[in-house]
Amino acid sequence: MRANLSLFTRPLFLLGLVLLIANDFYLKYAFPGIVSGKLSDFAGLFIFPYFFSVFFEKRTKIVYVATALYFTFWKLEISQPYIDWLSSLTHLPVYRTVDVTDLIALLILPVSYQYFRKELVLPVKGNLAIQMTVILISAFSFVATKLPEDVPVINIKSGKAYMIPVSKEQLQKEFSDLISSNTFYDSFYLNGYETTIYVKLEVKEYDKNNSIIILEEILDYSIKGNPSREKEEEITKKLNRLTRKDFEKHFKAHLTQKYGSARTLKSGLSTQ
């Protein structure tokens, strides 16, 4: 039976594909947090089994069940030997984050399955060139999400604390991570370096109008645009010369610009 390739141009499939690519290559870096952290899993689980069900229409249920089992296995620690074997087999560094909370994305599978069955009854139509283009882009998106994120690692511990004139409640509205945890992630642009710095933070409530932000760790960075190798090496050398205190100074400037002021805590609740 010939595959109905027009299914690749259905609205929700295309939306899922766009969200997957946009999140993996931009959103999770520009807007780090719980939403962008889970978006790829939801979008990927929506389009992945749908994609293969087009070619194995009579085995759609098997495709969806296999996807659920594989995704669960992929997200657990027990899959590490398999990850290592896959890396050696393909000669490519295969990447995945072990986080059991990602399994919540499995809830999208029944939605995807019902949508596929609904779209299946529609007549075959569409431009073959467009359909083939979508197929190639889909295949690329599935592979790209398994490769390491092209973000260099800094991993500098800090612990510096700052007081800002913003309530914890306001911060919770800004950062969805704070709804269930005191730890969240933020980023700021480093002027003169054409680079975005990603940081891990902790927030503590000081009073109803002020919060304490603790810079736990400077995680990594990404250079703006698509610089030449020479330009990238130049920026990297400049960044490597920065010390922990330099990053803390730049982070304080970021807080001041964003919230109006930021006071460095010396010890306890005393400030300077």
Ordered by start, the domain boundaries in the chain are 5-144, 153-264
Phi, psi of 269 (to 5 degrees): -115, 15
Q: Residue 187: which residues within 8 A CB-CB, separation 6 or more?
A: 29, 30, 32, 196, 197, 198, 199
| Per-residue pLDDT at 255 | 94
- Name the range with the highest mean pLDDT among 23-27, 57-61, 174-178: 57-61
> What are residue 202's DSSP bridge partners?
183, 214
| Per-residue pLDDT at 193 | 86
Q: Residue 53: which residues within 8 A CB-CB, separation 6 or more?
A: 59, 60, 63, 64, 116
Q: How confident is the model at residue 148 (pLDDT cuts 50, 70, 90)?
A: very low
pTM: 0.53
Between CA 96 and CA 83 the distance in angstroms is 9
Of 57, 159, 50, the C-alpha closest to 110 is 50
